[in-house]
Amino acid sequence: MSMADTSTTNLESGTSKMRRSQMWLFARKPVLLALIPLTLISTGSALVACIRSERVNHTKGSPSVGVSSVSILVKGRLNGIPVAIKRDHLKYPIHYLGTSVWGSDNEYSRRKSDPNDSEISDFTVYLQWPSLAPRGPFNDASYAKSTTSFSPSSWISISVVAEPAQDAAATHQSLALENSRLLQSLMNRMASESHMLSGDKMPIRHPDLKYSVSLDEKAHFGLRFAAPTGRGTDTAWLGNDLLYWTEGPSGAIDTLISCGNGKLPDPTTIHRCRHRFVVPEFQSSVEIGYSSDLLPQWRIIEVASRRYLSSIKAHY
């Protein structure tokens, strides 16, 4: 056989093999195409599992869920106690004692340049209940809705105000007595202040307005209760509040909650509650804000807020 014949034979053999290979691929094309999405799904599932595992590992032992492990800490001292708060938890910049968050950038920057020794006047965090997670990609839509409407919301604000420094027992007693005075003030102002009610051309006083007090704690989520009675209390207006509180043996009030009352113009909206309590270890008063549909969970919210505040204690 000549060399030319051999080359031709080899070429035909190679072409034949290539054709058989192409036929094999063509015959199995549906199978291969079916395997591609399965491979992508498997890879995607593994990636999601990895992300979830990272979130769980990061959040184990923490009230927050799914929070990025990389978060800038804002530091300061709360009545001498060092604290460190994640910046993405804050609703507003921290207000340091002797400065204004609305002041010049130089003044604010000076305080932030040495935060470890900067005394905090007050701060507010904004977290989603019940995970106490801050705003993130997984709850951004819920966050946006909570800040632009008065519809039921799962977001709560926790505001802390440093009180004049004294020992924990004295702080607890003085702040509890302050809550007692506030409760009486809220009850008394209804008849003493002027109100614009439906049909009135000018604000007038309504001495018939008063609070009806109920000590039946079982009927009101374990709280004492006072509801306004009299003309116009079926309509929402400033000062027309439902009041709830806990009272200690000495008459001091540890927890005081006020929630809006009366029909709102928009039926899709809901009243808000302001929930005050005392944190003597920080020598501070705390006010939580949440929508009134969360009121039945007031005790759990208060306990979780106390734990959150304990978690921000720093060691430096």
pLDDT digits (tens, 9 = 90+) for 139-173: 999 999 998 888 999 999 999 999 887 776 777 77
Name which of 22-31, 166-175, 287-296 the model is least confident about.
22-31
Name which of 79-93, 159-173, 190-204, 264-278 the model is least confident about.
190-204
Nearest to 190 by CA among 142, 238, 151, 152: 238
- How does pLDDT run across 185-194, given as a tens digit for each residue? 888 877 666 6
User: Tokens 């009101």 belong to which residue?
Assistant: 220
Measured distance CA(52)–CA(11) in Å, rounded: 56
| Beta-strand pair 284-291/272-279 | antiparallel
| Confidence band of 20 (pLDDT split at 50, 70, 90) | very low
How is residue 251 written in tokens? 């008459």
Determine contact, residues 193/239, Cβ cutoff 8 Å: yes
Average pLDDT, the chain: 76
CA distances (Å), origin 220, targets 10, 148, 157, 229, 254: 94, 30, 23, 17, 17
Percent of the chain with pLDDT over 70: 66
Helix (H) or strand (E) holding 224: strand 224-229
How confident is the model over 31-42, as a mean pLDDT?
A: 42
DSSP state at residue 1: -
Determine contact, residues 132/155, Cβ cutoff 8 Å: no
How confident is the model at residue 196, as a pLDDT? 60
More confident of the two residues 62 and 294: 294
More confident of the two residues 294 and 99: 294
Task: Flag whether the pTM goes above 0.95.
Answer: no
How is residue 204 written in tokens? 């007038």
Residues in the chain: 316
| Confidence band of 8 (pLDDT split at 50, 70, 90) | very low
User: Tokens 């946006």 belong to which residue?
Assistant: 144
Say whether pLDDT at 240 is over 60.
yes
How is residue 127 written in tokens? 């977290």
> Residue 290: how many CB atoms within 10 A of its CB?
24
> Residue 89: how many CB atoms within 10 A of its CB?
23
DSSP state at residue 163: P
Alpha helices in the chain (DSSP H): 3-27, 29-59, 105-113, 140-148, 168-192, 298-311
Determine contact, residues 73/85, Cβ cutoff 8 Å: yes
Say whether pLDDT at 16 is over 50.
no
Name which of 11-15, 26-30, 247-251, 309-313 the model is least confident about.
26-30
Domain ranges of the chain: 3-59, 63-316
How confident is the model at residue 65, as a pLDDT? 38
